[in-house]
């Protein structure tokens, strides 16, 4: 399900989403659609889009009329630390995830080995080691994103809708983040010089959020998402140029 929320800051918008949906903050994906800094004559404004696998309403109740129990209000919990260094499966769920990933790769016609990269309370990182990593990752990580989506759907069918699976290979996710941060600052400099705007390539929700948050503290630059579907574009523009 997809919902939109607004707030003066990203945190306020996310807090509002968690409260209204009755979910923990790590129970949904957040995409920043638009972010504007506060100024002398303008209040700060952030509009986010929330993606959740749970069938919930804005009131925080399941859409299924047969479910009687209300979802408990969200309680902030300390952020759990990721656990690295134990690549082998520790339980049946992890073993099923690893076998599922390896099975998909084999059906694609490629060899590969899956292992556990890290563990958090509601997040499990998996790593693919393969001589065909460049193919499995794909252009801009689109193949890796597709594989990750399938793994998360399978995890849900295993009764673990609460667990988010992060799939990586050759440290692509980290390298991509570093590349996007550099891109964001480079584009911001161009926009400040030209007093205009730059429309970036289509990106997935995670990549777009990284662009938004990276540039959020630059006072004279703003960002907004444009387009439809999963892969939208981020426009970076000089403050005031689109108003």
Instruction: Sketch out the chain's domains with CATH numbers.
Output: 1-76 (no CATH), 92-170 (3.30.300.20), 172-243 (3.30.1370.50)
Q: Is residue 2 over pLDDT 80?
A: no
pLDDT at 72 over 60: no
Give the mean pLDDT of 59-65: 37
- Confidence grade of residue 73 (pLDDT, cut at 50, 70, 90): very low
pLDDT at 239 over 50: yes
Both tokens of residue 191? 């926009």
CA distances for 119 relative to 54, 84, 163, angstroms: 22, 7, 10
Q: Is residue 83 over pLDDT 70?
A: no
- Per-residue pLDDT of 161-191, as tens digits, reads 889 999 999 999 889 999 999 999 999 999 9
Q: Which two tokens stand for residue 33?
A: 């659609």
Pick from 75-79, 95-99, 126-130: least confident: 75-79
Mean pLDDT to the nearest integer, 108-119: 93
> Residue 55 has what pLDDT?
43
217 band by pLDDT with thresholds 50, 70 and 90: confident
Per-residue confidence (pLDDT) for residue 15, from 0 to 100: 81
Please give the mean pLDDT across all residues of the chain.
79
Q: Is the pLDDT of residue 42 over 60?
A: no
**pLDDT value of position 204:** 85
Place of tokens 């938004």: 212
Residues 6+ apart with CB under 8 A from 146: 138
Model confidence band, residue 219 (pLDDT cutoffs 50, 70, 90): confident
Model confidence at 62: pLDDT above 60:
no
Letter string b/e over residues 173-206, b meaning 16 or more CB atoms within 10 A of that residue's CB: beebeeebeebbeebbeebeeeeebeebebbbbb
**pTM value > 0.85:** no
Given pLDDT bands bounded at 50, 70 and 90, which one contains residue 74?
Answer: very low
Q: Note the pLDDT of residue 171.
A: 92
Q: What is the pLDDT of residue 19?
A: 76
């Amino acid at each position: 399900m997809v919902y939109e929320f607004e707030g003066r800051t990203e945190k306020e918008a996310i807090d509002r989403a968690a409260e209204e949906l009755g979910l923990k903050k790590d129970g949904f994906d957040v995409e920043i659609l638009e972010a504007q800094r506060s100024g002398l004559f303008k209040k700060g404004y952030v509009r986010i889009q929330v993606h959740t696998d749970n069938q919930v309403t804005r009131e925080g109740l399941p859409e299924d009329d047969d479910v009687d129990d209300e979802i408990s209000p969200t309680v902030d919990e300390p952020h759990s630390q990721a656990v690295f260094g134990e690549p082998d499966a520790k339980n049946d769920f992890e073993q099923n995830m690893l076998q599922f990933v390896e099975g998909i790769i084999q059906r694609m016609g490629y060899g590969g080995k899956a292992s556990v990269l890290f563990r958090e309370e509601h997040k499990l990182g998996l790593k693919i080691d393969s001589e065909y990593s460049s193919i499995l990752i794909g252009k801009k990580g689109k193949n890796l994103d597709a594989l990750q989506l399938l793994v998360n759907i399978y995890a849900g069918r295993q009764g673990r809708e609460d667990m988010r699976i992060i799939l990586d290979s050759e440290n692509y996710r980290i390298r991509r983040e570093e590349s996007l941060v550099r891109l964001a600052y480079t584009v911001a400099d161009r926009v400040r010089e030209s007093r205009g705007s730059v429309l970036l390539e289509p990106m997935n929700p995670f990549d777009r959020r990284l662009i938004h948050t990276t540039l959020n503290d630059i006072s004279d630059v703003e960002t907004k998402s444009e387009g439809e579907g999963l892969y939208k574009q981020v426009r970076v523009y000089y403050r005031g140029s689109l108003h």
